[in-house]
Structure 1
């Protein structure tokens, strides 16, 4: 895996942790208005573009059946997610006061386990699973299903076929009567995965940006991601947040990181990014409960709370990653060839 992808995974995961930490501040310290510092939701958009890129990169030029592809994706995604989902459901059942965004509801739990969009019983206006950040996994498994079904096609036909399928899905969801499924899958955010596959094709064809333009694309992408997150609502996220994410990923993969110093801890957090993403909600809930119920007033200090959220979420994710990931004799990430 390209080392810059590991770096971006780590950055995207920590962006999401930061975003949710700021949201938790309103519960920890109700007198504090931290909305001016509410950033990081766009880490999800980086993840979606990265996902499409990685799926193309890991399957291009290889004979892989839809079953083999699905087996690998399920093995990586399902065990930890199911464990987190079942744990949340048990807590919601036996100690509901500990959770603010989840209540026990059996149909909701079953839908969550099978990655089906479902209105959250705690807030019916949202389409989120038991583990709320898992809404992105509902999309990811949908992407994987489409990608797997198109694997038997030749590579030259695969991306045009994906364009056609995604177009049909978006159009159908607009024309059909509104349901939870049409609302969820009819969001243009699904095009970010498609954009990532195109970037993967460009990378394999060695159609990359010159070095100075690559750095410019990376910097401009992050700048506009920051600016647009403040100015544009999530309803506009595909072009307001997705396009900067595309710039970020395309710029990063165009840069030869083998000529740059290797950042081991950031690379490792990239390995742990999935575990960090899934488990950070529990870490933040623990910090919120500790701030509410223990005589530790210092936890209500916003800067310290956010720092602790980032550090403890990273540590917690790393521990879960080490427990759930089989040991390998080779590193999961390597420097790109010179």
Structure 2
């Protein structure tokens, strides 16, 4: 059972929510000391490594065609993302003061729905390459990964991993050496794409039954998590792949070496991991709502910085779980032609919807 993947997804989603909650706190109360404790964007890097790992182990040794792969990825990602993107566009049109980083711009909306990198018109400097739903920048990378990975399913299985790494390296090199730097070369030339490749490499070693001892894995996880959060907080000038990506890669590698079937399941983390995609996409609406409500709340406890951040995180999780249960799952089942199951277990190799989650992706 790879329940640890869901644990990692849950923790990654909570990190991202915390990061954005602190940003909102800075707006609500610029003097709050907790506002200085800004970290959590590293959750995205954990998602990327997990994505590569999951894509590899769920297709390895299976007769999955390129079209089948693309169809499944579209069913998993597109419905909820399009729903929240359209909702954000409508909010930007009707109530532009709610979402500070969003403006109603038709070309930008179209690019967002098509998962294409585009400069966000809300950025006064014209440098922020973000879709309408700002956290959706990771999904632009995910769809890029899926496009390349799906195409490589046309080749022999023994060649896919080498081709994946080589193809990503070639594209990054071309982008970096391009005499003209534009939105596309900047976006696709980002070294962060190698986190996905690293996840696939970990998946290869996992299926080859390469493991490290449990004690070593636990120690690596603790040390790497500390490094991940420290470098995330410090925001060093080195490339993100080195400062945050490497610890994220080691964490995933170490966690997949531990046999969690021996231990009691942490159901809360499991549930949050299952709903991580919904939490990831909807939490910005929840946080924006909290910011809008802040000035109308009575003082005292409701204006305490710790209470505010904890409340925003908990509310984001609750709303994300509800969206997962009443939108994400039903829509995915309908599009897949599947009937609800009373329970689902993660097994390897498995192609279940739970294991094949995009944030994942």
Give the TM bin, normalised by the shorter chain: over 0.9
User: Which portions of structure 1, spanning 4 or more consecutive aligned residues, are displaced by more than 6 angstroms?
Assistant: none
Q: Which residue of 2 aligns with 1:154?
A: 156
1:276 deviates by 0.3
Match of 1:237 among 213, 237, 240: 240
The alignment status of 1:263 with 2:275, answered yes or no, reads no
The 8 Å contact of residues 192 and 242 in structure 1, kept in 2 or not, is answered as yes
Question: Structure 2: where are the runs of 5+ without partners?
Answer: 331-338, 350-361
C-alpha distance in 2 between matches for 1:161 and 1:335: 27
1:336 deviates by 7.3
User: When the two structures are aligned, how many residues end up with a matched partner?
Assistant: 337
The alignment status of 1:64 with 2:60, answered yes or no, reads no
Q: What is the TM-score with the length of structure 2 in the denominator?
A: 0.90
Deviates more, 1:28-37 or 1:165-174: 28-37
Aligned residue for 1:97, secondary structure, equals: coil
Aligned residue for 2:127, secondary structure, equals: strand
The 8 Å contact of residues 45 and 242 in structure 1, kept in 2 or not, is answered as yes
C-alpha distance in 2 between matches for 1:284 and 1:44: 18
Match of 2:198 among 195, 200, 210: 195
Q: Deviations over 1:191-222 (max 9, x none)?
A: 00000000000000001111111111211110
The alignment status of 1:328 with 2:340, answered yes or no, reads yes
The alignment status of 1:41 with 2:41, answered yes or no, reads yes
Q: Which residue of 2 aligns with 1:109?
A: 109
Q: Which residue of 1 aligns with 2:51?
A: 51
Which of the pair has the greater relative contact order for Cα pairs under 8 Å at 6+ separation? Answer: 2
Q: CA RMSD in A?
A: 1.6
Higher helix share: 1
1:263 deviates by 0.9
1:98 deviates by 1.2
Q: Deviations over 1:62-100 (max 9, x none)?
A: 010111001001001000000000000001001111111
Match of 1:128 among 130, 136, 139: 130
Q: Deviations over 1:140-167 (max 9, x none)?
A: 0000000000012122100110111011
Question: Structure 1: where are the runs of 5+ without partners?
Answer: none
Aligned residue for 2:63, secondary structure, equals: coil
The 8 Å contact of residues 37 and 233 in structure 2, kept in 1 or not, is answered as no
